[in-house]
Structure 1
Amino acid sequence: MEAQRNEVRWYGVGASVVGASHRRANQPNQDAIRWSPREAGPAETLVLALSDGHGGAKYFRSHTGALFAVDVAITILNDLQRTGSNESPEIDLSRVKRLAEEQIPRMLVREWSERVTTHYKGCPLTRQETTPLLEREGPAAEEAVRNAPILTYGATIIAVAITPSFILYLQLGDGDILTVSEAGEVSRPIPPDERLFANETTSLCTRHAWREVRFSVQPVQATPEEHLPALILVATDGYSNSFQDEAAFRQVGADVLALVRAEGIETVRSSLEGWLNEASQQGSGDDITVGIIYRGVGVSPPASAAPTLVGTEAGGEDRDEPGTPEQEPQTNQSGGEPV
């Protein structure tokens, strides 16, 4: 008789810090992170969502757009979790892939756009908000956001939903998802979007944004436990931009897994904010948000330093911009042309 495998349990920890350059400019944290359930463990089901509000002058409400993005993603993916509760793994995977391709992107963009529309109708753009844009980019830029206030809320979204049957990875815009195997091998469940360069990004605020949502689905029940991710690391691009290259950044995934195994998930939880502040100061200067999902049993010895989790790239200003659409989006439209 085949031995019954252990129940899979997941732990989630995360942190979000204001970028060093934003602190100097007295700007808010334009990132957002949310969990369901709140950071806890062990859990059989878990949803994590991160969003990075754009940093250009036009996107002066992007911190609010990021908050809306993570709230909407959590709500939609919590509903999706119920799909993974009662069906067979094969039916679940087929259904989830169909939902991820056909329905979830539209729902995500539509509900985010509705949140934004409700907000700016209740809180119209003010002269205090638009004057810096006018001074920096001129009358045409100010007119563009007054005609399409949704632009000012522009943000990305990255999410991971884990159920007993499947793991769904979802991404619109820049940022990173790394998975780490039991052996410490690091991979990306969603390949990098080669169109995103020079601080351009796809965005929730562009026309037809739902077309730009990318995803990957991994079975859980039908996958041997040793082939499931031992750790998943999700980050806004301020983190990877703090490292010299892709190899240095990917090494972080393996280093975090080794640290969790050696000293426990609570060590990472208590130290993460300090590591991210140091990474921003020494690296990108951008806001940095990281969520870490660990499969296994956590232990809680005292926190210790982990220098390899801090990047060494030269600093730079956060200037994420969505790709320029052929025409500006209307307030009742979902999104934008590809980059």
Structure 2
Amino acid sequence: MSATGTSAAVWELLDGGVKGVAKKFSQDRGQALVTAGGRAVVLAVADGHGSRAHFRSEMGARWAVEKFTSCARVYAQEAVRRGDDAANLPRLLAEARTLPQQVVHAWRRRVLTHEANSPAHGGNTTSSGPAPAAAGGSAPEADLAVYGSTLIGVVLTERLLVCWQLGDGDIVLVDEDGTTRMPLYTGPDMGDETESLCEPEAWRKARLHWQPLTGGGPPPGVLISTDGLSKSFADHEGFLAFASGVRSRAASHGVAAVQAQLPDWLGHAAKYSGDDATLAGAFPVIGRTPARPGPDNDDSH
């Protein structure tokens, strides 16, 4: 509900994922949840790299989603609390720019805690062979590449949309009329190389989309996905048509019906791409009174 008590958007969420064909398990993780008393959405997907050099990347992806969600919930609550006043937008933008560094540091701490208890290489090797001793003969540094993962995250309120992206994957905004936009799209992927949380100062490579929602219309629907979904389509236009169709079907049949079909759709995509496919999304429903769960009882899917 807005500060003046007028009609508000409540959020209906999508969240699903499937493993790639012939894979033992998925390296993807995803989450969609409401927070700030039902007035904000947090979305996240992460894609562990999955190759031999990244053999713990499913852990890296899981912790990427966990740490982003933890940081983004705090940001979302501030965005709801202060977002009705345009004078607060510069401060919120500055905080959005610092969030990737917070997430990367939190992710690294979680990885290093795990490494301290269960070294990926038994404490004496790296992914490329024996680890050299650190200066002074101390134990070698952890091989963060073992946990490498991409990350996409979103915070969405009635007044503000913020998207962050590190590495590959896709963010699609879908308006009520089915119009689609990809605010951080940089063109088709060239090979399998991508930015990663495991790189030094990885936050510097994170991209930001900042969009105050001041046009008077409803917020856009937002779909985020790992690249296993978009790679299953023959061309970029086909992927955008899929995103538009998801919103159209949600409007005509309800989000619950789309959620029920999502595993089949993602499974079909995984057959074509051979890769894991994970999607999280949110659509606004205007005019209903939002539920107000307590801070420890936010809905999640």
Which TM class, normalised by the smaller chain length? 0.7 to 0.9
Give unmatched runs, 5+ long, in structure 1: 131-138, 299-339
Residue 27 of structure 2 is aligned to residue 30 of structure 1: yes
Q: Which residue pairs with 1:158 in the alignment?
A: 152
TM-score (norm 2): 0.84
Deviations 1:100-152 (A, max 9, x none): 22x2121111111111000111111256xx8xxxxxxxx97234797542110
Q: Which residue pairs with 2:295 in the alignment?
A: none
Change (3 A) 1:5 1:155: same
Q: Give me the whole-angstrom Cα distance separating, in 2, the residues matched to 1:297 and 1:269.
A: 19
Q: Give me the whole-angstrom Cα distance separating, in 2, the residues matched to 1:140 and 1:82.
A: 41
TM-score (norm 1): 0.75
CA contact (8 A) 1:35 1:74 kept: no
Change (3 A) 1:268 1:121: same
RMSD of the TM alignment (CA)? Answer: 2.5
Change (3 A) 1:85 1:47: same
Give unmatched runs, 5+ long, in structure 2: 133-139, 288-301
SS in 2 for 1:296: strand
**Which structure is richer in relative contact order (CA contacts within 8 A, separation 6 or more)?**
2
CA contact (8 A) 2:33 2:42 kept: yes
CA contact (8 A) 1:89 1:165 kept: no
Residue 92 of structure 2 is aligned to residue 96 of structure 1: yes
Runs of 4+ aligned residues of structure 1 deviating over 3 Å after TM superposition are 142-148
**More strand per residue:** 2
Q: Give me the whole-angstrom Cα distance separating, in 1, the residues matched to 2:157 and 2:127.
A: 47
Change (3 A) 1:123 1:37: farther
Deviations 1:145-200 (A, max 9, x none): 97542110000110111234312111100000001112211101223267x52011
State the Cα distance separating 1:218 from its structure 2 match. Answer: 1.7
State the Cα distance separating 1:37 from its structure 2 match. Answer: 3.7
Change (3 A) 1:164 1:297: closer
* Pick aligned residue for 2:250 from 260, 266, 271: 260
Q: Which residue pairs with 1:77 in the alignment?
A: 72
Q: Which residue pairs with 1:327 in the alignment?
A: none
Change (3 A) 1:159 1:204: same
Indicate the percent of aligned positions where both proteins have the same amino acid. Answer: 31
CA contact (8 A) 1:176 1:235 kept: yes
